[in-house]
Amino acid sequence: MNASWELVDLPEDKKAIGCKWVYKVKHNANGSVSRYKTKLVAKGYAQTYGIDYEETYSPVAKMTTVKAIIVMAAAKGWSLHQMDVKNVFLHGDLQEEVYMEQPPGYVDQTHPNLVCRLKKTLYGLKQAPRAWSDKIGQKLLKQKFEMKDLGELRYFFGIEVIQFPKGIWLLQRQYALNKLAEYGMTGCKPISIPLEQNVKLSADEGDLVEDTTMYRHIVGSLIYMTITKLDLSYAVGVVSQFMQTPRNPHLDAVRRILRYIKHTL
């Protein structure tokens, strides 16, 4: 497995973390199934800082940077393509001494009590993003890694990309449809204004929302939709002020925004 580990006896002063298989369905922009993926994920939450890992920092491209690249491509008439590095985190070199239990279903029957001493970073490890970032900074990607050209950029992180000779459209229609279905709002009645006029939401009026995690999840999705729907910015900015202790009037306002989204699909 890409020389990701070697089977060894677990040292007396060390603890082996667990692992599990994670299955995921990848979708196309129209919602159809693209492919099925399986990956082995280490239970990084069991790692101990200062023993199993140190630095976890990894630079991440901000959406403003992505937008700047897309604007440049549109202005220059360039075609945007999408590349995928196969088994991306498995290329990161592990500097720390980390031990992991043998993967479920793949235990060596002749040495069932041995553990995996990791040589490469696995998904789930605290230091995996940092190690991968260090790796890609060393050499041109296609010269170093096995890569797959996914063709012209059409869909990434819930954003549909439609390239024309004179410009590039960014849409989140499918993402919005998915979120409406996830939050039980598919059959809601559309409205033409995202927030009631002259509405004044208070931080201490109304009963507390029972599921605060659900409220934060919805508002987080709405914030992500402002990437392409700037008309949501003000209303989303208002409801995001109550993420700490949301109340029912705030939830009603959030649902109203979802009804507006359905109107503007």
Q: What is the pLDDT of residue 145?
A: 66
**Could you say which DSSP state residue 145 is in?**
S
Q: Per-domain residue ranges for the chain?
A: 5-77+85-150, 172-263
Amino acid 207: pLDDT:
92
- For position 170, what pLDDT does the model report? 92
Residue 108, number of CB atoms within 10 A of its CB = 11
pLDDT digits (tens, 9 = 90+) for 254-264: 999 999 999 99
Q: List the one residue out of 62, 41, 64, 180 whose CA is nearest residue 118.
A: 41
Predicted pLDDT of residue 25: 87
Q: What's this model's pTM, rounded to 2 decimal places?
A: 0.63
User: With the C-alpha atoms ordered 190, 193, 194, 199, is the resulting torsion angle positive or negative?
Assistant: negative
Give the pLDDT confidence score for residue 216 in this predicted structure: 94
The fraction of the chain above a pLDDT of 90, given in percent, is: 48
* Tokens (6 digits) for 124: 């789930």
Torsion of CA 195, 196, 200, 203, to 10 degrees: -50
As a dihedral over the C-alpha atoms of residue 90, residue 92, residue 97, residue 99, rounded to 10 degrees, the angle is -10
CB-based contact 234:216 (threshold 8 Å): no
Q: For the chain, which ranges sit under pLDDT 70?
A: 1-2, 29, 50-60, 86-93, 132-138, 140-146
